Amino acid sequence: MNQHTETIVCPECETLQAATVLHSWPWWTYVHKCSHCRYIILESEWQRPLKALPFISFNRNYSPVAIGQIRLQLTQQLSDKATQLRELQREIDCIKNSLISTGLNPNSPFIQIN
C-alpha cells in the first residue's frame, strides 16, 4: 500500500511527530501513536505544521531544533507546491491547446481561466 510521512504535532504532549499516512481505500488512514507520550492521534486531531504554526508561535517556546524542523518541513512543502503549480500550469496549457485544436475560439468564455 502506498504511504507518505507528514510532520504533525501531538495534541497531548505537543512534540513534533513524523506520522505515516496510509493510502488506504476509500480514505487514507490518519492514525499515529505519539512516540513521546503514546497518545493515539486520530485524523480529527491531525495538526500539520502549517496549521500548527500560529499555535507554536503563540503558545509554546519550542527549541531551536524543533523550529528548525518546522522550517525545513515548510520549505519542503513550499517547494513541492511550487512544483505542483508548474505541473498544473503545463496541464492547463495542454488542455487549452487541445480545446483550441478542436476549433474552439480561444477567446471563448469557456476557456477564460486566467
- Interacting residues with Zn ion (CB under 5 A): 10, 12-13, 34, 36-37, 39
Residue 51 CB, shortest distance to Zn ion, in Å, is 17
> Shortest approach of Zn ion to residue 37 CB, angstroms?
3
Cβ-based burial of 112 (10 A; exposed 0-12, middle 13-18, buried ≥19):
exposed
Distance (Å, whole) CA 113 – CA 10: 40
What is the nearest approach in angstroms of Zn ion to the Cβ of residue 76? Answer: 23
Nearer to Zn ion, 9 or 21 (CB): 9
For 66, residues 6+ apart whose C-beta sits below 8 A from its C-beta are 15, 16, 56
Query: Judged by CB, which is closer to Zn ion: 51, or 90?
Result: 51
